[in-house]
Structure 1
């Protein structure tokens, strides 16, 4: 059931060169490293890292997600001049909105944007961007990795499954709240979601709907 949600949450869009990229903050440092790889491959010339305090591993992000991701990217060879920071966002909607403001303050109003995120963040990030920034063409990018291998890198299977379940709930609930565009959820994905909820993977559900 978890593998089914993992596959659903990924869009697997073909890459295209974009005017800017937004690296979405999280506990997964691999996002910053993958963003650096994409920069070196010339998929974009400018990168915004976005994210405030990390709630999962705060000790690993003393200056926030964006700052830690910037440091990782610079260590991987991305010039500091190619990086902008958005250090305040606490959710995906703010990641998009505040990054857009950071770009605008730098005099940049892109028509194309690449969202660099964890593999299982793609669908919700895309839907959020389409609602918050409908004028831009958006493509999502993540490291190519299988579910089992990803669990090995993160080393917290329960957390990842909880996140998969919580994000599916948000895909179902957020369009009515105006936070994201609606998306089709196949019946087998809903069945997997219901099964995992029954099995107790509920820590990342919306509190009012847990």
Structure 2
């Protein structure tokens, strides 16, 4: 990836991250994916005292089906336990197969188990922060006026993110293109709230498409 492509990809990365300031919360919700660093981040937040419970949500999604053979939530829980989170402070929602279901099924789980959650920390991959926040604001079934939600992810820069499990920098660029594409389309389908997109981000998106990168 030469400097121009890297600069355009960095533009997408910067846009898709929100850099929310954490607040003391009732629960940490770790959303399933193919990056185990999300589980490690959720565990570190618990161990730092940001919330007394972790709910891991996820069955198998587009990047884990056929690769993992147990629910993402179970695998994430095992990682958190190895890092020192007590097993009885971890909750599992093992049915969700996409972000909307992660959000809706987490709400249902909390309601069914009588767990109040007015302040929530959502944890996912860095380039998914904006996506998750917009999905939560549209698809969380409960009232949102008195809910405080913050979104966070493993702390790393664009060039640090690729690894043997999540893929190459080219793979990451394709994922980001797919997220930006759907951020434009999904509000019309009722899946997310609408979000502003800067001209710089739209230009970077078009440059990368013309260069042959494909949204994933």
Report the Cα distance in structure 2 between the residues aligned to 1:48 and 1:79, rounded to whole angstroms.
13
Residue in structure 2 matched with residue 177 of structure 1 by the alignment: 189
Residue in structure 2 matched with residue 64 of structure 1 by the alignment: 71
Q: 1:68-87 maps to which residues of 2 (within 5 A)?
A: 68-87=75-94
Structure 2: segments with no counterpart, 5+ residues: 1-7
- Asked whether the 8 Å contact 2:55–2:91 carries over to 1, the reply is yes
Residue in structure 2 matched with residue 104 of structure 1 by the alignment: 111
TM-score, with structure 2 as normaliser: 0.89
State which drifts further: 190-199 or 166-175.
Answer: 190-199
Q: Are 2:126 and 1:119 aligned? A: yes
Residue in structure 2 matched with residue 47 of structure 1 by the alignment: 54
Q: How many residues align?
A: 204
Report the Cα distance in structure 1 between the residues aligned to 2:31 and 2:213, rounded to whole angstroms.
24
**Cα displacement (A) at 1:61:** 2.3
Q: Are 2:157 and 1:157 aligned? A: no
**Cα displacement (A) at 1:57:** 4.3
Report the Cα distance in structure 2 between the residues aligned to 1:202 and 1:109, rounded to whole angstroms.
42
Q: Are 2:207 and 1:200 aligned? A: no
Report the Cα distance in structure 1 between the residues aligned to 2:47 and 2:96, rounded to whole angstroms.
26
- Asked whether the 8 Å contact 1:54–1:61 carries over to 2, the reply is no
**Cα displacement (A) at 1:86:** 1.1
Residue in structure 2 matched with residue 207 of structure 1 by the alignment: none
Report the Cα distance in structure 2 between the residues aligned to 1:52 and 1:3, rounded to whole angstroms.
31
- Give the match's secondary structure for 1:151: coil
- Asked whether the 8 Å contact 1:165–1:193 carries over to 2, the reply is yes
State which drifts further: 95-104 or 152-161.
Answer: 152-161
Structure 1: segments with no counterpart, 5+ residues: 205-210
CA-atom RMSD in angstroms: 1.5
Residue in structure 2 matched with residue 35 of structure 1 by the alignment: 42
Residue in structure 2 matched with residue 142 of structure 1 by the alignment: 153
Moved over 6 A (4+): none
